[in-house]
Copies of this chain bind each other. A is one copy, B any other.
Amino acid sequence: MADPKYPVRTVGRTFEILEIIQELDGAGVSEIAARVDIGKSAVHNHLTTLENYEYVDKDGDEYHIGLSFLGLGAYARNRTPIYDTAQSQVDELADETGELVNLLVEKNGKGIYLYQSKGENAVELDTHEGKRVRLHCTGLGKAILAFRSDETVDEIIADQGLPELTPQTITDRDAFDAELEEIRDQRYAVDREERLNGLRCIAAPITDDSDRSIAAISVACPVHRVDDDRFYEDLPEAVLGAANVIELEYNYS
């Protein structure tokens, strides 16, 4: 995390280029060179090298992210202890509710979607596996923070702040602490359009045997389709049930 004493600039540039390609959904040499601080011949050299290693695909004059990253990504995910036990439960919950179900873990103060399963009526969202999100504005993130030490929460908020993403985002520190307290009480978190207008979620933490969160699981659904009864009654029960099964399997087997 701390700045490296002797950074290898080329490594940084390589990943900058890759992230630009992803962001632009495919890009050419000049397009990339305009965004990264090196000339286009240098960018060209990077890209042909990456292509040689099969980490990017060349399609005409456009370069794209290669499937080789799936190997590294899936490997990293499989190494994450909770993934193995949680996956089938996430699938089942998606089946049961018909909605979009997410599994999130925390890394360096941010959330990373580890797995996602789409029920029959699942909303189409900007989230995808591997995506990073701020913790304070999602049900998942709040559920995770509620079951971490006060010091950890302090650190993360000091680092990340409480930026407003929608009018409903909690941006006040005291209000946020009260929210975490409530989540600890009821053992699940509610996201009332705090990250995205029109979207709300019910999320539950998955904790280890000392009640520290290691992940969170959520059901996300559009405000207009799912009424309050179902949202506030049925979903919490379903989500808590799934979280519980995962915890049991994870901690006692």
With a cutoff of 8 Å between Cβ atoms, the chain B residues found around residue A164 in the complex are none
How many chain copies? 2
> Is A51 in contact with B18, judged by CB distance below 8 angstroms?
no
- Since A4-B45, A64-B79, A67-B114 are in contact, a sample of 7 more A-B pairs with Cβ atoms closer than 8 Å, ordered by chain A residue number, is A1-B51, A5-B48, A6-B44, A10-B11, A22-B75, A70-B74, A78-B128
Once the chains are docked, how many angstroms separate the CA of A54 from the CA of B67?
20
Convert A37-72 into 0s and 1s, putting 1 for each residue whose CB lies closer than 8 angstroms to a CB of B: 000000011101111111101000000111111111
> Can you list 28 A-B contacts with CB-CB less than 8 angstroms, sorted by A residue number?
A1-B52, A4-B48, A4-B49, A6-B44, A6-B45, A7-B48, A8-B10, A8-B49, A10-B11, A11-B14, A11-B50, A14-B14, A22-B71, A54-B108, A65-B75, A66-B107, A67-B114, A67-B130, A69-B69, A69-B75, A70-B129, A71-B131, A72-B72, A72-B130, A73-B73, A74-B130, A88-B118, A91-B91
Across the interface, name the chain B residue whose C-beta is closest to A80: B67
Min CB gap A55→B, angstroms: 6
Assess whether A77 is interfacial by the CB under 8 Å rule: yes
Min CB gap A94→B, angstroms: 10
Once the chains are docked, how many angstroms separate the CA of A53 from the CA of B3?
10
A73's contact among B11, B71, B107, B132, by CB below 8 Å, is which? B71
Min CB gap A87→B, angstroms: 8
Assess whether A242 is interfacial by the CB under 8 Å rule: no
A52's contact among B7, B22, B52, B112, by CB below 8 Å, is which? B7
Min CB gap A189→B, angstroms: 22
Assess whether A15 is interfacial by the CB under 8 Å rule: yes
Once the chains are docked, how many angstroms separate the CA of A128 from the CA of B155?
36
Min CB gap A123→B, angstroms: 15
With a cutoff of 8 Å between Cβ atoms, the chain B residues found around residue A81 in the complex are none
A69's contact among B25, B46, B51, B73, by CB below 8 Å, is which? B73
A72's contact among B18, B46, B49, B88, by CB below 8 Å, is which? B18
> Is A130 in contact with B10, judged by CB distance below 8 angstroms?
no
Convert A86-126 into 0s and 1s, putting 1 for each residue whose CB lies closer than 8 angstroms to a CB of B: 00100100000000000001011000101000100000000
Among the interface residues A5, A15, A49, A53, which one has the most CB atoms of the partner chain B within 10 A?
A49
Assess whether A76 is interfacial by the CB under 8 Å rule: yes
Once the chains are docked, how many angstroms separate the CA of A55 from the CA of B132?
13
